Amino acid sequence: MMYRFGKYRLMFTQEVMGIMHSYRQISKGLPESGGILLGRIYTDNRIIIDQISVPGKGDKSGRFFFERDVKRAQEIASGAWEKSDGEVRYLGEWHTHPEAIPKPSPTDRKLIIGMIQDSILDQEFLFLVIVGIQENYVGVSYKGKRYVNQLAFCSD
């Protein structure tokens, strides 16, 4: 899957998409699930998300909410960064919604906007992915901005 924004092309590996889709809330009793997005930004402006964290014991979730374990997420992000000599970086958040065509809630927007404003990062943006039953929402939030832009899927 590929999305364009500004000079960048955002891509997700098939493995990452498969893992996220395996957590879709296709049954009424399934809780929201989520984690962090990890990947690389290349000099040709490609961004490839090729790793994600998955739900863990310290996360809290229910049918309509997901709260990840902040300490565990930081350990995962720091470990990936160190193991890759600084190439793999934290690029955002993902979680599921129990709706066919998901859209971010006010809480989702506040979270990703707060993360980009409060984090020390090498890039000026973070992504928000919401996995729905039929479709996904992919958005980007920029440092210094108070909104999330939805990205459109493109085929080239």
Q: What one-letter code names the amino acid at 113? A: I
E strands, the chain, in order: 2-5, 8-12, 34-41, 46-52, 60-62, 65-67, 89-96, 125-131, 136-142, 149-150, 153-154
Catalytic residues: 32
- Do 76 and 53 contact (CB within 8 A), yes or no? yes
Distance of CA 123 to the CA centre of its chain: 15
